[in-house]
């Protein structure tokens, strides 16, 4: 039986700008099962981080519902949200920017424990900090060092220890390895996997790197200009990408298998503006298959297989049935 920890329904986040409303996230819906990873991919500016931040209410959604363990947290008071912070955490892309340079490693990791009064005394606090450092592979002798004295990998380990301090069940990992050297990336990804296995963590894993997301995710949501264009189990998405945008994204990943050569699909045309977007499919101006309808009518979401959904008019031609919910799984 599936155990849904998070359900996002018709989430929207608009930012008012001088030129109009910027539709950063525009009607996204999906569910996430406990202990699983949802990879969120798409080009820079498509709304990945804003989706993560709106779910955690680091930025309040414009509309929509976020049900965490069955409760709609968009209605939670500041006090209720503060209590919920122990359950929901975020790991950021740039560990250096997200760590206070004036605090030592132990002070940074201890901060959430202090804030939420999770330790009875100084000794317990120190024990917890040492244990968290061990968990993320940081030597105890680094306790009194400062972020600038450490390399990127160790800094990200501090960010992970800080996120784990309150024993959360759900973590939004926002490009956690993209600022790191390739050799360090694998170490951090392996650590995140190990922690997930040991603690039953649920991840929303945001990245623009499809090879990382393939390795890491159970399901993948592809976003384009604030919209979900495709959602599928990882293997299925890689084996049979359906949306023309997903196909183009996947065609850009180099494959080591010489028998399985694929042609790179180069996207032509300009990305549309996310400010007061025009009707129709947002990808239409860059889509090789676009026809007049695509510029006029927003595509519905079609069911390609039980857990594979695509928002594209081409699916209607193939006679595919509409998905039950408007978006996501
Ligand atoms: N606070 C804000 N005010 C106004 N616009 C914003 C704000 N935050 C994000 N945006 C805009 O919302 C859109 C989505 O941004 P977001 O950072 O979520 O995209 P992203 O896919 O995570 O991109 P990246 O990979 O570059 O972080 C972009 O057009 C961005 O400029």
- DSSP class per residue in 53-75: HHHTTSS--SEEEEEETTEEGGG
Q: How many CB atoms lie within 10 A of CB 231?
A: 28
Mutate to test the pocket of ligand 1, among 16, 18, 20, 45 (most ligand atoms within 8 A of CB): 45
Asked whether 327 and 27 are in contact (CB, 8 A), the reply is yes
- Tell me the pLDDT of the chain (329 aa) as tens digits: 569 999 999 999 999 999 999 999 999 999 999 999 999 999 999 999 999 999 999 999 999 999 999 999 999 999 999 989 899 999 988 766 778 889 999 999 999 999 888 888 999 999 999 999 999 999 999 999 999 999 999 999 999 999 999 999 999 999 999 889 988 999 999 999 999 999 999 999 999 888 888 888 999 999 999 999 999 999 999 999 999 999 999 987 766 665 556 677 778 877 889 999 999 999 999 999 999 999 999 999 999 999 999 999 999 888 788 887 544 44
Pick from 136, 131, 122: which is nearest to 195 by CA? 136
User: What pLDDT does residue 327 have?
Assistant: 46
Tokens 């929303």 correspond to 204
Residue 227: inside a domain: yes
- Is the CB of residue 156 less than 8 Å from the CB of residue 177? yes
In a domain, 250, yes or no: no
Indicate the DSSP class of residue 75. G
Contact 257, 240 (CB under 8 A): no
- Note whether residue 255 is domain-resident: no
Ligand 1 centre to CA of 318 (Å) is: 34
Distance in angstroms (rounded) separating the CA atoms of residues 33 and 218: 10
Question: Quick one: pLDDT at residue 113?
Answer: 92
- Contacts with 144 (C-beta within 8 Å, 6 or more apart), sequence order: 104, 105, 106
Compute, in angstroms, the gap from residue 92 CA to the centroid of ligand 1: 14
Please state, in angstroms and as integers, the Cα–Cα distance from residue 122 to each residue in 4, 111, 140, 190, following that order. 37, 12, 16, 32
Q: What are the structure tokens assigned to 102, written together? A: 């004036």
Contact 6, 165 (CB under 8 A): no
For ligand 1, atom 29, the nearest C-alpha belongs to 45
Residues with beta carbon inside 6 Å of ligand 1? 15, 22, 24, 42, 44-50, 208, 274
Contact 165, 153 (CB under 8 A): no
* Interatomic CA distance for residues 147 and 99, integer angstroms: 7
Q: Are strands 4-17 and 20-33 parallel, antiparallel or unpaired?
A: antiparallel
Judge whether 41 lies within some domain.
Answer: yes
Pocket test for ligand 1, best of 15, 40, 207, 245 (most atoms within 8 A of CB): 15
Distances (CA, A) of 225 to 36, 44, 182: 25, 9, 28
H/E stretch holding 233: strand 227-233
Assigned token pair, 65: 């519902």
Q: Which CATH number goes with the domain that contains 64?
A: 3.40.50.300
Q: How much is the pLDDT for 262?
A: 66
Q: pTM of the predicted model, to two decimals? A: 0.93
Q: Which two tokens stand for residue 209?
A: 């790197």
172 exposure class (CB count in 10 Å sphere: 0-12, 13-18, 19+): buried
Q: Residue 249: inside a domain, yes or no?
A: no
Task: With respect to residue 130, please indicate whether it lies within any of the assigned structural domains.
Answer: no
Q: Tell me how far the alpha carbon of residue 323 lies from the centroid of ligand 1, in angstroms.
A: 28
Residue of minimum CA distance from atom 31 in ligand 1 = 45
Is there a domain that residue 214 lies in? yes
- The continuous run of DSSP H or E covering 221 comes out as strand 219-224
Domain count, the chain: 1
Q: Could you tell me if 100 and 68 are in contact, meaning their C-beta atoms sit under 8 angstroms apart?
A: no
Contact yes or no for 265/251 (Cβ under 8 A): yes
Query: Hey, which of 48, 51, 92, 277 would you mutate to test ligand 1's pocket, going by the most ligand atoms within 8 Å of its Cβ?
Result: 48
Q: How far is the CA of 22 from the centre of ligand 1 (A)?
A: 9
Structure tokens at 224: 């384009």
**Structural domain harbouring 226:** 4-87+168-242
Question: In the chain, how many H helices and how many E strands?
Answer: 12, 12
Is residue 215 assigned to a domain? yes
Residue nearest to atom 30 of ligand 1 (CA): 45
233 and 206 in contact (C-beta within 8 Å)?
Answer: no
């Amino acid at each position: 039986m599936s155990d849904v920890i998070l359900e996002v329904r018709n989430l929207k986040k608009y930012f008012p700008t001088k030129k109009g409303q910027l539709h950063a996230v525009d009607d996204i819906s999906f569910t996430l099962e406990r202990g699983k990873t949802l990879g969120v991919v798409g080009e820079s500016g498509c709304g990945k981080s804003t989706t993560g931040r709106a779910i955690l209410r680091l930025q309040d959604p414009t509309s929509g519902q976020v049900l965490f363990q069955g409760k709609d947290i968009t209605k939670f008071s500041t006090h209720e949200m503060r209590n919920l912070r122990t359950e929901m955490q975020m790991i950021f892309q740039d560990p250096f920017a997200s760590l206070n340079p004036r605090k030592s490693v132990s002070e940074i990791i201890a901060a959430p424990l202090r804030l939420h009064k999770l330790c009875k005394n100084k000794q317990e606090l120190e024990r917890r900090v040492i244990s968290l450092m061990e968990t993320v592979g940081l030597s105890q002798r680094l306790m009194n060092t400062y972020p600038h004295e450490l390399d990127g990998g160790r800094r990200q380990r501090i960010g992970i220890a800080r996120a784990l301090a309150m024993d959360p069940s759900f973590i939004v990992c926002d490009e956690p390895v993209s600022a790191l050297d390739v050799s360090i990336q694998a170490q951090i990804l392996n650590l995140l996997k190990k922690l997930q296995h040991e603690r039953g963590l649920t991840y929303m894993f945001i990245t623009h790197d499809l090879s990382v997301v393939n390795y890491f995710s159970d399901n993948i949501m592809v976003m384009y200009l604030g919209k979900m264009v495709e959602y599928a189990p990882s293997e299925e998405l890689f084996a049979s990408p359906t949306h023309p945008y997903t196909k183009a994204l996947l065609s850009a990943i180099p494959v080591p298998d010489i028998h399985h050569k694929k042609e790179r699909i180069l996207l032509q045309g300009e990305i549309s503006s996310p400010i007061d977007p025009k009707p129709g499919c947002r990808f239409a101006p860059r889509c090789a298959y676009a026809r007049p309808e695509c510029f006029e009518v927003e595509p519905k979401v079609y069911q390609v297989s039980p857990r594979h959904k695509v928002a594209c008019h081409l699916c209607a031609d193939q006679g595919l049935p509409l998905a039950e919910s408007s978006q996501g799984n």
